[in-house]
Structure 1
């Protein structure tokens, strides 16, 4: 039995979606969507689907979603968020602007639409966990320039942040990110060098780490928080571990902290609502369940 046959067997004729990745075993998406399915008493299924990073494998995924009547769509994570885009029937404007898709929705006519809910999830978690923060609070420093950074930067620009400061270990990637998202209204995007990352915290209202530094199995993020105002918020989108070194250091000096689990939970809401037709909210109980699934 291959992975597609196994997923169909698990669904047992019920409507289903899945997380698609390579590898996929580490994903916690089944825990968060499974919580909503149980909470809403929906007779549905959310599983895992390992798909190799090859165009032919992604073409097979698209064909499977289209031909399987009870398939509702999928989530995508590394390494498929960009490569899937040319194979879909349409890309919504937000995903097109970000340049990546994390959610595929099968529409009533059987076509597939690519969406990106990462920016939505990022902002929803920020507003919930750091309610004192607003776009008008001041400059934001974003570390990293990958796919997650693109969603974060797009959402912050749209929210009205007056100044973005971008820093990446490869400076040219930060330059390219800044060029791609420079707002037309004259608001500033400042690109700094990696060795300037601590200095660029001066006067910032928010620090966001979108790099893998601090993640389990990765080197720690080396940054001096001394220039960061105490009232600033610190957001690390890493969620394994939940309390990264960055967040522990920020919490110790009194900064409001936001971990990556909230973003994971909130980005799942729009996809679930599209697949299963029920409005849902992120709750303390759901966070506890998913954190337990992480072993946190």
Structure 2
């Protein structure tokens, strides 16, 4: 019998730590399955799903940039993710060969800050892509205060605020930060191969939290600046591991050993 497997797809894909995470959990559980990275170009997305859905060994895939929105056009959407978050990061294949998409990013984003009371708090989100959609969706459920979205395309950012019913403002990427309790970098700025995110944190209060979704490198310029200011910070591995745990259960039907998180982080860093 062919060994079951799952993948992570994206363009680029070499930076992804998902194979390490899922491989670590599969080994720890002694589960007979594999997980690998697969480089899929935007114009190859349709062929990828057409090929994989006919492979009974394929359990599904995780999705990274730039495919989180486009992938919705190629899979079923039983949870109506298109009209809520508007982007998927996980696709699974059922026993009938039907591929369906879901999103574990929103819950994964929230997990590391679940104990922080953000009711009425002003928030800044940088970026307006697939990851930002998951972040804004989560924030819309938390009763936060005004949300400022910084993005190159201001109209796109404004549309997302309206989509999720959030009050706030959409501003150009190079705008000064307003005072905020939480700043989230949901863009690719600061990622390996991308320009750095250059932003002045001085307007933030002393109890502000800086949350960078970028995990390659783990030590981003934004997080360095946060530490220099003495601000609390959340790195990209926190969300990555949290969302991966949810995806792992969807793909392989078993819970990952979260009691091994410390060893996993050591492996990843």
Give your verdict on TM over 0.5. Answer: yes
Query: 1-side partners of 2:56 and 2:175: how far apart?
Result: 53
Preserved contact between residue 137 and residue 205 of structure 1 (Cα < 8 Å): no
* Structure 2 CA distance for partners of 1:24 and 1:242, relative to 1, 3 Å: closer
Does residue 58 in structure 1 map to residue 45 in structure 2?
A: yes
Cα displacement string for residues 87-144 of structure 1 (whole angstroms, at most 9, x for unaligned residues)? 21334234541211211011233211101111111111333xxx4x222261111111
C-alpha contact (below 8 Å) 2:81/2:87 kept by paired residues? no
Q: Which has the higher helix share?
A: 1
Please report the RMSD computed on the Cα atoms of aligned residues, expressed in angstroms.
2.0
Match of 1:37 among 9, 13, 26: 26
Matches within 5 A, 1:89-104: 89-94=76-81, 96-104=83-91
1:8 maps to: none
Q: In the alignment, is residue 26 of structure 1 matched against residue 5 of structure 2?
A: no
Within the alignment, does 1:196 sit opposite 2:172 as a pair? no
1:174–1:65: structure 2 CA closer, same or farther, 3 Å change rule?
Answer: same
Which whole-Å deviations, capped at 9, do the CAs of 1:16-50 have from their partners, x for residues lacking one? 10112233333221101001101111111101222
Deviation above 6 Å: which 4+ runs of structure 1?
A: none
TM-score for both structures, normalised by structure 2? 0.91
Q: 2:211 aligns with which of 228, 235, 239?
A: 235
Q: Counterparts of 1:82 and 1:181 in 2: how far apart (Å)?
A: 16
**Paired residue for 2:36?**
47
Pairwise mapping of residues 155-166 of structure 1 onto structure 2 (< 5 A)? 155-166=138-149
Distance 2:152 2:40 in 1: 30
Structure 2 CA distance for aligned equivalents of residues 195 and 52 of structure 1: 30
How many residues get paired?
A: 267
> Cα gap change, 1:23/1:192 in structure 2, threshold over 3 Å: closer, same or farther?
closer
Task: Give structure 1 stretches of 5+ with no counterpart.
Answer: 1-11, 292-296
Contact preservation (8 Å) 1:101, 1:115:
yes
Name the structure 1 match of 2:267: 289
State the alpha-carbon separation in 2 of the partners of residues 138 and 78 from structure 1: 29
Instruction: State the match for 1:6 in structure 2.
Output: none
Seen in structure 2, the aligned counterparts of structure 1 residues 64 and 193 have a Cα distance that, compared at 3 Å, is closer
Does the CA contact (< 8 Å) of 1:95 and 1:114 recur in 2?
A: no
Distance in 2 (alpha carbons) for counterparts of 1:59 and 1:170: 27
TM-aligned CA deviation for residue 153 of structure 1: 0.7
2-structure distance, mates of 1:213, 1:271: 25
TM-score by length of 1: 0.83
* Structure 2 unaligned blocks of 5 or more: none
2:193 & 2:248 partners in 1: Cα distance? 30
**Residue in structure 2 matched with residue 107 of structure 1 by the alignment:** 94
Aligned to 1:118: 105
For residue 256 of structure 1, the aligned residue among 208, 228, 232 is: 232
